[in-house]
């Protein structure tokens, strides 16, 4: 797939429950903002500083990450679910 996120955006494939990390993260139904797990498919070149320099990204293609359900924009490619969001919307790396 050839989608190239702009700036500090990340393309994430949303993982179904059956694909979740071995660590066994469970999202309680009572959580205010439900986090989701996903796999990083593509990353942008990085945010730009005031002077136009690039700040390198911290997540890499292949990382499993936690992100808020309402953070990104959902798209479907070949019947798989993806989400495009800014790196700052990613809470952390839950596996590789």
Alpha carbon distance 81, 7 (integer Å): 22
Site for its own copies in 33-92 (CB under 8 A): 33, 35, 42, 44-45, 48-53, 55-56, 58-59, 66, 68, 70, 73-79, 81, 84, 87-88, 90-92
Helix H or strand E encompassing 88:
none
Considering the rule CB under 8 A, would residue 24 count as an interface residue with its own copies? yes
3-state secondary structure 54-80: EECCCCCCCCEEEEECCCCEEEEECCE
Query: To the nearest whole angstrom, how small is the minimum distance from the Cβ of residue 44 to its own copies?
Result: 7
CB 42 within 8 A of CB 72: no
For its own copies, the binding residue among 25, 60, 61, 62 (CB under 8 A) is 25
If we measure between CA atoms, which residue out of 32, 35, 37 comes closest to residue 22?
37
Name the residues that contact its own copies, by CB under 8 A: 1-7, 9, 11, 23-28, 30-33, 35, 42, 44-45, 48-53, 55-56, 58-59, 66, 68, 70, 73-79, 81, 84, 87-88, 90-95
């Amino acid at each position: 797939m050839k989608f190239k996120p702009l700036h500090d955006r990340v393309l994430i494939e949303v993982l179904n429950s059956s694909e979740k990390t071995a660590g066994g993260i469970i999202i309680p139904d009572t959580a205010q903002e439900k986090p989701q797990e996903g796999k990083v498919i593509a990353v942008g070149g990085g945010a730009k500083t005031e002077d136009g320099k690039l700040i390198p990204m911290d997540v890499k293609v292949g990382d499993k990450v936690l992100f808020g359900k309402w953070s990104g924009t959902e798209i479907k490619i070949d019947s798989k679910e993806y989400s495009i969001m800014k790196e700052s919307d990613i809470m952390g790396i839950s596996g590789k």
